[in-house]
């Protein structure tokens, strides 16, 4: 899939997929939202607004109040690609989010997911 198509995907269409993934492994929407807010700096209202307004992934990250300064501590493989080696900055942010959701779904402790 071309990067432009990925960037244009609606966050509101990706979010339910993330939730289904973590819920099937016994995690909650609150935990998913906490992970997303940690990464992006959105508060609860801001995150809800992004979901309700059909923001693209590109605008979701562009409008993020402040990416977490510990974002570079997120390492590992998502879909066979090391997230820290993704060259495109926006795609790297998307992969960071994917990695955090994967860790949540795999049952990793929240303190470790949030790099505390």
Phi-psi bin for 68: left (phi > 0), alpha (psi -120 to 50), beta? Answer: beta
Write out pLDDT tens, residues 62-91: 999 999 999 999 999 998 999 999 999 999
CATH superfamily to which 3-107 belongs: uncharacterized protein sp1917 domain (1.10.8.290)
Q: Using the predicted structure, report yes or no on whether residue 113 has a pLDDT greater than 60.
A: yes
| pLDDT-derived band at 1, boundaries 50, 70, 90 | low
pTM value is 0.93
Write out pLDDT tens, residues 90-111: 999 999 999 999 999 999 999 9
**Overall residue count recorded for the chain in this entry:** 116
């Amino acid at each position: 899939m071309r990067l432009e198509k990925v960037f244009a995907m609606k966050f509101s269409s990706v979010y339910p997929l993330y939730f289904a993934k973590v819920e099937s492994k016994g995690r909650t929407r609150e935990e998913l939202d906490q992970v997303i807010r940690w990464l992006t700096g959105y508060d609860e209202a801001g995150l809800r607004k992004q979901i309700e307004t059909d923001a693209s992934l590109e605008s979701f990250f562009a409008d993020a109040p402040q990416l977490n300064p510990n974002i570079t501590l997120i390492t590992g493989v998502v879909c066979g690609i090391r997230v820290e080696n993704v060259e495109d900055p926006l795609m790297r942010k998307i992969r960071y989010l994917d990695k955090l959701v994967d860790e949540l779904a795999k049952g990793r402790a929240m303190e470790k997911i949030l790099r505390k």
